[in-house]
Amino acid sequence: MMDLQNKNILLGVSGGIAAYKSVELLRLLKKAGADVNVIMTDSAQKFVGKTTFEVLSENSVLSDLFLDTQSSVKHIELAAGADAAIIAPATANTIAKFAHGLADDALSTTLLAVTCPVMVCPSMNTDMYQNIRVQRNLDILEKDGWVILDPDSGILACKTVGAGRLPDPWFIFDRVEAMLVKKDLKGKNILVSAGPTVEPLDPVRFISNHSSGKMGYSIARAAERRGGMVTLVSGPVSLDAPVAVECILVHQADIIVKVAAVADYKPMDPKPRKIKKNENDKDLSILMTQNPDILKLLGKKKTKDQFLVGFAAETDDLEKNALLKMEKKNLDMIAANIVGSSDSGFKADTNKVKLFFRDGSSFDIPLMAKDKVADILIDKVIEKMG
């Protein structure tokens, strides 16, 4: 989860049944350290009481420009201090007001004064959502630079099935975080590999490794948030796929980050049936054969505009082994990490990485969350790519 400390967020709630989900969204924003000011329309208060938002936000809720505040320009103060505004749920009426610059309540008036990024989360009956007027209004807002979060499809409050459901609070939260990140990878295609490989021995057993995918998924998530078009090639992991990570053709990638723990060897002759225990044989030998080195192949095919990043998982001689791999695989950068300790490498949520570059320089990333390592690694890629 990103640190939203020192961020001022406006949460606009308009009158739909999904207003209850905004309570959870508020909790997620607060948990991430944001200062949240809630603005409610009259109809929103018919669905969820003001008190709930006031208690959880630790701020008074703005709902009436004339009655509620000590300051006569509270809406201007809120708008001026906001780092981001989220309207969830956004009804057809509220969207129409935004699109046409109306200012007849606390929410529409405040939103007319904001200069920060705004995310609108439409939520309504499918026919209303698909209505040409609503779509036209959403188009206007999008063209003005506001982010429109498409609603989910599913069973709606009116018992119909279709598009119009407010997405889950964690998803909205994820997209708010993404909205606040600088887009320094815009226009770049990025390929990330993550997780373990699995090589079968027989129909029951396999040879694999301890990679959880956490490091690679963190890099894919960070790259997507920074505006990149990310393809994630993943081995079997128990992680949720990062949001909005798309598939593109591998050869088109501008940046390739190979975090996957790929088997160097696989069983030469995987058996079609389960290998039975033989009481007379105390030992079992498995003949292994080398797998193709994907990174090395990519290094050979690398174009002059591509930036190729490998990882080196080592138990000893970190620097020597990493530099050798960078050379052999024709990499622009290698991220070396020690595996075998509980707070870095495999499975851990944290990692300690040393980056080595083609120009002979290096950079130490001390022990920190893999999400943070991912961002620093991307900073360095961008810096080196110029």
Q: What is the largest CA-CA distance in the chain?
A: 90
Minimum separation from the CB atom of position 275 to ligand PMT (A): 24
Residue 311, interface with ligand PMT (CB under 6 A)?
A: yes
**Can you tell me the distance from the alpha carbon of 271 to that of 203, in angstroms, rounded to the nearest whole number?**
7
Would you say 12 and 87 are in contact if contact means Cβ atoms under 8 Å apart?
yes
Minimum distance between the CB of residue 74 and ligand PMT, rounded to whole angstroms?
46
CA–CA gap between residue 314 and residue 113 (Å, rounded): 54
Which residue number, 285 or 342, has a Cβ lying nearer to ligand PMT? 342
CB 69 within 8 A of CB 106: no
Closest approach of ligand PMT to the CB of residue 53, in Å: 38
Question: Is 89 one of the binding residues for ligand PMT (CB under 6 A)?
Answer: no
Q: How far is the CB of 215 from ligand PMT (least distance, A)?
A: 4
Cβ-based neighbour number of residue 88 at 10 Å: 26
228 near ligand PMT, judged by CB under 6 A: no
Q: CB nearer to ligand PMT: give 29 or 336.
A: 336
- Residue 109 or 306 having the CB closest to ligand PMT: 306
**Which one of residues 255, 260, 333, 365 is an interface residue with ligand PMT (CB under 6 A)?**
260
Per CB under 6 A, the list member of 137, 226, 310, 375 interacting with ligand PMT is: 310
Task: Tell me: does residue 349 bind ligand PMT (CB under 6 A).
Answer: no
Contact status: 341 vs ligand PMT (CB under 6 A): no
Catalytic residue among 116, 121, 158, 247: 158
CA–CA distance from 184 to each of 125, 228, 374, 381 (Å)? 37, 8, 14, 11
Verify whether residue 247 is a known catalytic residue.
no
User: Which residue, chain included where needed, has tokens 């209505």?
Assistant: 131
Taking the complex as a whole, the smallest distance from the CB of residue 225 to ligand PMT amounts, in Å, to 18
Rule CB under 6 A: choose which of 188, 229, 337, 352 binds ligand PMT: 337
Q: What are phi and psi of 273, to 5 degrees?
A: -120, 160
262 binds ligand PMT (CB under 6 A): yes
Please tell me whether residue 253 binds ligand PMT under the rule CB under 6 A: no
User: C-alpha dihedral over 82, 83, 88, 94, to 10 degrees?
Assistant: 50
How far apart are the C-alpha atoms of 358 and 333, rounded to whole Å? 6
> Whose Cβ is closer to ligand PMT: residue 150's or residue 264's?
264
Peptide bond between residue 292 and the one before it cis (omega within 30 degrees of 0)? no
Residue 244: count of CB within 10 angstroms of its CB: 13
- At residue 73, the 3 state secondary structure works out as coil
Identify the CA nearest to 189 among candidates 238, 139, 131, 245.
245
Say how far apart CA 187 and CA 65 lie, in whole Å.
Answer: 43
Q: How far apart are CA 15 and CA 65, in angstroms?
A: 18
Q: Report in angstroms how near the CB of residue 171 gets to ligand PMT at its nearest.
A: 23
Residues contacting 157, CB < 8 A, separation 6+: 17
Separation of alpha carbons 104 and 156, rounded Å:
29
306 binds ligand PMT (CB under 6 A): no
CB of 175 or CB of 258, closer to ligand PMT: 258
Work out whether 234 is an interface residue with ligand PMT (CB under 6 A).
no
Which residue, 95 or 348, is less far from ligand PMT as judged by CB? 348
Closer to ligand PMT by CB, 26 or 260: give it.
260
Contact region for ligand PMT (CB under 6 A) — 108-116, 148-156, 274-282, 309-317?
Answer: 309-317
| Residue 242 binding ligand PMT, by CB under 6 A | no
Which of 10, 90, 215, 365 binds ligand PMT (CB under 6 A)? It is 215
Q: Which residues contribute to the site for ligand PMT (CB under 6 A)?
A: 193, 211-216, 258-262, 264, 291, 293-295, 310-313, 325, 337, 339, 345-347
Active site residues per annotation: 158
